[in-house]
Amino acid sequence: GCEIEVNAQIADEQLSAENVIGLLPGKGSLASEYVVLGAHLDHLGMGNFGSREGAGKLHPGADDNASGSAAVIMLAGRLANEYRELPPDQEARSILFMCFSAEESGLIGSSHYCRNPLFPIEQHKLMINFDMIGRITNGRLSVSGASTGEGMEEWLAPMFEASPLTIVQPENMSGASDHTPFYRAKMPILFGII
């Protein structure tokens, strides 16, 4: 039984975000096939959006996801050295090292890449995504997606067995992270998270 008058102003503010991508060229007939090693750069800061801890509480960027970005950088250095040591006639796929922006805001950076790839998306053969891998406890790492590509489970089994970590493989695809747009594009994926 009362009347309320409300005045409001809505501001639509556009923000720019950038993916960071590096290319390690492959060799021979496999050079036109691409493996993506990725992680997201952004984090929630004080958790005003999406934080498990709630708004105004610190969501450490070192965990989510400087650890994944650091893994991509470390792998880039290691794989560049290994590619230099390959025999001249050795074939090798090209590797795209990607650090995505705006994952926390809805997979914006990785979705943009899948819609606007540097190379035809069908030439992308595998996407490996690292998210929150820096605080492994009890020696446990979750890796999902082994069943998304033909022969991947058999290819991964000896590596998982040789790992000092306990590799847990969820039955269902876990997490909505930067692997998701690639999976939707019908690409095999692997998703590592604690």
Q: Give me the active site residues, please.
A: 103
Output Rg (C-alpha) for the chain, integer angstroms.
Answer: 20
**45-79 as b/e: b if 16+ CB within 10 A:** eebeeebeeeeeeebeeebbbbbbbebbbebbeeb
- Whether the ω angle into residue 81 lies within 30 degrees of 0, i.e. cis, is no
DSSP 65: I
CA-to-CA distance for 106 and 116, rounded, in angstroms? Answer: 17
CA-to-CA distance for 45 and 175, rounded, in angstroms? Answer: 20
